[in-house]
Amino acid sequence: MASEVRTKAALAQDATAIMNRLTTEQKNTALLRMADALLTEQANIIAANELDLQRGREQGTSPSLLDRLSLNSDRVAAIAEGLRQIVELPDPVGELLEHFDRPNGLKINKIRVPIGVIGMIYEARPNVTVDAAGLCLKTGNCVVLRGGSAALESNRKIVEILKNALHATDMPADAIQLIEDSDRASVNEMLKLNGLLDVVIPRGGASLIRNVIENATVPVIETGAGICHTFVDESADYTMAVEIAFNAKVQRPSVCNSMETLLVHETFAGQHLIPLAERFLQAGVELRGCEKTVALIPGTKLASDEDFGTEYNDYIMNVRIVSDLDGALSHIRRFSTKHSECIVTENKDNAERFIQDVDAAAVYHNASTRFTDGFEFGFGAEIGISTQKLHARGPMGLPALTSTKYQIFGNGQIRG
Amino acid sequence: MASEVRTKAALAQDATAIMNRLTTEQKNTALLRMADALLTEQANIIAANELDLQRGREQGTSPSLLDRLSLNSDRVAAIAEGLRQIVELPDPVGELLEHFDRPNGLKINKIRVPIGVIGMIYEARPNVTVDAAGLCLKTGNCVVLRGGSAALESNRKIVEILKNALHATDMPADAIQLIEDSDRASVNEMLKLNGLLDVVIPRGGASLIRNVIENATVPVIETGAGICHTFVDESADYTMAVEIAFNAKVQRPSVCNSMETLLVHETFAGQHLIPLAERFLQAGVELRGCEKTVALIPGTKLASDEDFGTEYNDYIMNVRIVSDLDGALSHIRRFSTKHSECIVTENKDNAERFIQDVDAAAVYHNASTRFTDGFEFGFGAEIGISTQKLHARGPMGLPALTSTKYQIFGNGQIRG
């Protein structure tokens, strides 16, 4: 007998033909029904969520994780509102991207089409279940969801409600599949389902991502890892530099676009590093520095290469004093995960060189790296932030969930 | 000590920073020097090639493979001319793809950038060595070439000449690397070089492609497999149908965009299948048919599901009679590798449904599937034909060898 994973992925793949034909209006109608159903059935969702919370408490889950897992009436309303916002976004499917008229009379269109079946592997809060389903369905894709076991009861109830909401619509209920098998083997089975899954998108911590990269034969869109730097150049405006660096580190340290390492030009450091460091120390940020930093800021721990290569996602920051722009570029080349990098400078030539030379999904001049985000970029949605160079790089909006197809119109052309 | 593969990939990765900064003119100058050098040194190339041919003859290589491997003065000239044609193509790097002005004053550009280091794994003729290098370098990428052992001496000499040609140019010789270790282990090492290789592109037979897909942790662009169908609808023009089907099968059966299975509407088959089949039989094409076909064309072998799922790349063709468009769509959904599919029909509704419903890189109305090709599409070059849905789908021109980067210009913006 086929496994749960294979059976459900095959149902999703079978549903792609119908999804592919749906109009934007048909998709939007279905998404609105789903939003309504989540509100109507919120008591059932909260009850299922309570089972997850109870199991979590019994297993000693930390209060902060329990809080992320927990759903209440406001949170369910926010999730439903998220679906309504997806309805408002333009539908990329069907967009004519290119057209060529060939000398032999062939007319060639390149148009956007759904990818097919998207496998989402995640460990985050139950809102990801609805959010990912909404984005995939809006773009005409089917989705196979594999959430973390901590949210299984919540996810099960949510997906049941979403599927039921589709019964009176043109969208097939099979377009949404939830893998309920919480064994790691079900993830690994998904990773090898070439032909049934067209892409796998992992969202979660480093070990989840690594497992996907190492084991997938299905194409993957890698998301997440961010060792981001801010380089404060010699000519930087002091107030701007402090505000940008502080925002990049402290506003939300747990996310991938926050800063891990501050690089400071030695002249700027000589004049300003002491008060700058003070600002971070007062906010409870632990500093780890290069030898020059340690000499300037007594009590600072010496940073190792391992520190410079670590994504802390926490109130810890490396500081390195560099002799010039080249020193900063060289450090970034060595330690960057190519996510988001920033230069703060009043020197236009240096800004241009940094923007040109740094190889990253997002390169900033005089703004916080925290802006690397689909909503901040104006995409109205985000399925994740790609840290690979193929297909999509940086924040991924709806077009990142599409592929393309060439349509060729002839009148009997054959190749000579 | 680091292996040959790791050492050379690291040299290429180090060269990306310089490649990234080159202007189109600098790249073109380098490519023209390479073309000149190939001509100047053609005697040395042909001598090295003779060593490969000699070894091939000793090992009993087939005459057709020896012919493909063989270089002479005309072939070297054609290879050099190929480089000159790449010079003439527009450079996609630096192209501004999108621009957003955000309400907070951030200005965001999305621009095309080189991917970085491209690993090419191939088993074809030595011209692929030059062609792949030219396309990668034109797009500002470095390239790690791993050709088949049968062409090792030719490839070694060619790459030596190409690298020497770069000495007086702004392009670093390290941008081109040839892996000389002909053991399969060197391929498998390339497939796991995350961080040093940014993408691997395999070009070759099914087993080479399968090995790459199954073992790569580096992102892959899958190329090649093509089980292509031509559906001759009830209303098809007889002459057009025969010409298109014959061209799709017979003009060059060994390539991925040639047809493997002819689907014929039962009404059309009743009227025309006998003379149509005769045309193929006279050209030496072996037919394998469904039961109805076998009944109509005595002596035809019965086609199995395995036959329908085989890319023959040869003078063999499956024939299936279907009752209508839906029968054709259902067969294609089951057996297509989503490469190129064609409908021959005078019925506009059926043409539209076929074009809309068939999930393939290229879908044709009234033209031969043989046109799925970068040159035929007007791209002026082709690094391969992608049969996956991410990043690039169908014939890949120069833009398929680029990634993107967001450049964000601020004046002190921080996230609230």
Write out pLDDT tens, residues B288-302: 999 999 999 988 999
Contact: A113, B359; criterion CB under 8 Å? yes
CA distance B226 to chain A (A): 14
CA distance B248 to chain A (A): 8
pLDDT value at B390 more than 90: yes
> Which 3-state string (H, E, C) describes B307-376?
HHCCCCCCCEEEEEEECCHHHHHHHHHHHCCCCEEEEECCCHHHHHHHHHHCCCCEEEEEECHHHCCCCC
Check whether A103 has a pLDDT greater than 80: yes
The candidate with the shortest Cα–Cα distance to B93, out of B117, B118, B114, is B114
For residues B99-121, give the mean pLDDT. 97
pLDDT at A4: 96
DSSP string, A289-345: E-HHHHHHSTTPEEPPHHHHT----SSEEEEEEESSHHHHHHHHHHH--SSEEEEE-
Length of chain A: 416
Segment A160-164 mean pLDDT? 98
**Which percentage of chain A shows pLDDT scores above 70?**
100
Contact B390 A365 (CB under 8 A): no
- Are B366 and A214 in contact (CB < 8 Å)? no
Phi and psi at residue B147, to the nearest 5°: -85, 175
pLDDT digits (tens, 9 = 90+) for B125-137: 899 999 999 999 9
Q: What is the pLDDT of residue B188?
A: 95
Tell me how far apart the alpha carbons of residues B355 and A107 are, in angstroms, rounded to a whole number: 13
Q: Which residues of A touch B211 (CB under 8 A)?
A: none
Whole-number Å distance between alpha carbons of A114 and A20: 7
Q: Of B206 and B294, which is predicted with more confidence?
A: B294
Q: Which residues of A touch B415 (CB under 8 A)?
A: 247, 251, 368, 370-371, 376
> Cβ A406–B368 below 8 Å, yes or no?
no
Nearest CA in chain A to B338: A405
pLDDT tier at A122, thresholds 50, 70, 90: very high
- Average of pLDDT values for B399-414? 97
- Which residues from B are below 8 Å from A366, CB to CB? 409-413
Partner residue facing B413 (CB), from A219, A368, A415: A368
Indicate yes or no: CB of A359 within 8 angstroms of CB of B116.
yes
Nearest to A367 among B368, B370, B408 (CB): B408
The CB-side HSE value for A72 (13 A sphere, CA atoms) comes to 4
Chain A positions touching B333 (Cβ under 8 A) are 17
Full-model pTM? 0.93
Q: What is the mean pLDDT of chain B?
A: 95
Nearest chain A residue to B342 by CA: give it. Answer: A408
Q: What is the pLDDT of residue A352?
A: 97
- Angstrom CA distances, A169 to A32, A157, A166, B403, stand at 10, 20, 5, 39
Across the interface, whether the CB atoms of A408 and B362 are under 8 A apart is answered yes
Lowest mean pLDDT of A104-118, B350-364, B373-387, name the range. Answer: B373-387
Q: If you measure CA to CA, which chain A residue comes closest to B401?
A: A390
User: Which pLDDT belongs to residue B363?
Assistant: 98
Of the candidates A16, A362, A390, which has its C-beta nearest B406's C-beta?
A362
Q: Which of B375, B395, B385, B339 shows the shortest CA–CA distance to B223?
A: B385
Express each pLDDT in B132-159 by its tens digit. 999 999 999 999 999 999 999 999 999 9
**Contact criterion met (CB below 8 Å) for A116 and A198:** yes
Residue pair A404/B393 in contact by the 8 Å Cβ criterion:
yes
B96-101 vs B107-114, strand pairing mode: antiparallel
What is the pairing mode between strands A96-101 and A107-114? antiparallel
Tens-digit pLDDT profile for residues A233-291 = 999 999 999 999 999 999 999 889 999 999 999 999 999 999 999 999 999 999 999 99
> Given an 8 Å threshold on Cβ–Cβ distance, is B367 in contact with A409?
yes
Q: For A211, name the nearest residue in chain B, comparing CA atoms only.
A: B217
Tokens of B105: 């004053």
Q: Give the chain B residue whose CA is nearest to the CA of A195.
A: B337
Q: What is the ipTM of this complex?
A: 0.93
Task: For residue A415, give the nearest of B247, B360, B362 by CB distance.
Answer: B247
How close is the nearest chain B Cα to the Cα of A365, in Å?
A: 5
Angle between helices B127-138 and B73-88 (to 10 degrees): 10
β-strands A402-413, A96-101: how paired?
A: unpaired
Three-point CA angle B153, B157, B160, nearest 5°: 140
Chain A to chain B Cβ contacts (< 8 Å): 204
**CB pair distance less than 8 Å for A115 and B389:** yes
Closest partner CB to A367 (pick from B361, B362, B413): B413
What was the pLDDT predicted at B299? 86
Q: How far is B243 from chain A (nearest CA, A)?
A: 7
Higher-pLDDT residue of B106, A206: B106
Q: What angle do CA A181, A184, A186 make, to 5 degrees?
A: 50
Chain B CB contacts of A16 below 8 Å: 359
Nearest one of B39, B32, B27, B69 to B51, comparing CA atoms: B69
- Give the closest of A16, A333, A377 to B359, CB-based: A16
Q: Nearest CA to CA, how far is B146 from chain A (Å)?
A: 21
pLDDT at B159: 98
Res A1 pLDDT > 80: no
Question: pLDDT value at position A171?
Answer: 98
Task: Determine whether the interchain pair B102/A413 forms a contact, defined as Cβ–Cβ distance below 8 Å.
Answer: no
Q: Which residues from B are below 8 Å from A217, CB to CB?
A: 213-214
Which residue of A93, A389, A402, A409 is the best one to mutate when testing the B interface, meaning the one whose CB has the most B CBs within 10 A?
Answer: A389
The reported pLDDT for the residue numbered B182 is 86
Q: Which two tokens stand for residue B120?
A: 């090419």
CA distances in angstroms from B147 to A94, B153, B173, B177, B208, listed in the order given: 39, 11, 19, 11, 12
pLDDT, tens digit (0-9, with 9 covering 90-100), for A8-58:
999 999 999 999 999 999 999 999 999 999 999 999 999 999 999 999 999
Position B330 scores a pLDDT of 96
Calculate mean pLDDT across residues B27-41. Answer: 98
Task: State yes or no: pLDDT of B411 exceeds 80.
Answer: yes
Other Cβ atoms within 10 Å of A62 Cβ, number: 9
Report yes or no: B192 and B218 within 8 Å, Cβ to Cβ: yes
pLDDT score, position B275: 96
pLDDT of res. A206: 84
Q: How far apart are CA B261 and CA B245, in angstroms?
A: 10
**Closest Cα of chain A to B312: distance in Å?**
20
Work out the pLDDT band at A182, boundaries 50, 70, 90. confident
What is the rounded distance in angstroms from the CA atom of residue A142 to the CA atom of residue A148? 20
Identity of residue B333: R
- Beta partners for A301? A288
Nearest to A247 among B240, B407, B414 (CB): B414
Query: pLDDT at position B206, please?
Result: 84
Report the gap between the CA of A341 and the closest CA in chain B (Å): 10
- For residue A243, give both structure tokens: 């505000």
3-state secondary structure A376-398: CCCCCCCCEEECCCCCCCEEECH
Residue in A106, A113, A219 closest to B367 by CB: A106
> What secondary structure letter does DSSP report for B416?
-
Cα distance between residue A287 and residue A348, in whole Å: 30
Query: pLDDT tens digit string along A298-336?
Result: 889 999 999 999 999 899 999 999 999 999 999 999 999
Would the pLDDT of B181 be above 80?
yes
Of B356, B393, B415, the CB nearest to A370: B415
Average pLDDT, chain A: 95
Angle at A243 (CA atoms; ends A239, A245), nearest 5 degrees:
115
As a whole number of angstroms, the distance between CA B313 and CA B395 comes to 19
Tell me whether residues A376 and B243 touch, CB distance under 8 A: no
Looking at chain B, which residue has its C-alpha nearest residue A401? B390
Q: Do B410 and A213 touch (CB under 8 A)?
A: no
Neighboring chain A residues of B357 at a CB cutoff of 8 Å: 17, 20-21
Give CA A65 to chain center in angstroms.
19
Give the CA dihedral A151, A153, A158, A161, nearest 10 degrees: 170
Determine the straight-line distance between the first and last CA of chain A, rounded to whole angstroms. 50
* Residue A51 C-alpha, separation from nearest chain B C-alpha, in angstroms: 35
Query: pLDDT at residue B1 above 80?
Result: no
Q: Please determine, for residue A124, whether its predicted confidence score (pLDDT) is greater than 80.
A: no
Compute φ and ψ for B96, nearest 5 degrees.
-85, 115
Centre a 10 Å sphere on the Cβ of residue A224 and count the other Cβ atoms it contains. 20
Binary contact (B415, A368; C-beta < 8 A): yes
